[in-house]
């Protein structure tokens, strides 16, 4: 019983470390010209930057599609980063994280 409690406490400690690492991991995506999305490893968006010139062109649909593409890519990269960090931590070798 004491061993299980110790293992749980150790896993919580590892989870806290992982959370801090993910929050400190910054991922920038600018796959579309003039749009940059910044997200952290905990999947919290930090910023979205759209160049001024794009806003004046009247290409609302293009801007929306490019922004959506960048957001989806940023989330995917954030998820991959989290999975990689979890794979390398003791006690977090969960199936399906590859």
Count CB-CB contacts under 10 A for residue 47. Answer: 9
77 token code pair: 């990269």
Residue 92 has pLDDT above 70, yes or no: no
Q: What integer pLDDT is reported at residue 5 of this predicted model?
A: 85
Name the average pLDDT for the chain: 86
What's the pTM value of the predicted model, to 2 decimals? 0.73
């Amino acid at each position: 019983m004491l061993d299980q409690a110790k293992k749980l406490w150790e896993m919580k400690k590892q989870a806290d470390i992982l959370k801090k690492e993910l929050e400190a991991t910054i991922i920038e995506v600018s796959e579309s010209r003039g749009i940059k999305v910044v997200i952290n490893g905990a999947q919290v968006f930090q910023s979205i930057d759209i160049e001024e010139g794009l806003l004046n062109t009247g290409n609302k649909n293009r801007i929306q599609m490019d922004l959506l593409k960048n957001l989806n890519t940023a989330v995917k990269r954030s998820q991959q980063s989290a999975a990689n960090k979890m794979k390398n931590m003791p006690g977090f070798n969960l199936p399906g994280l590859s």
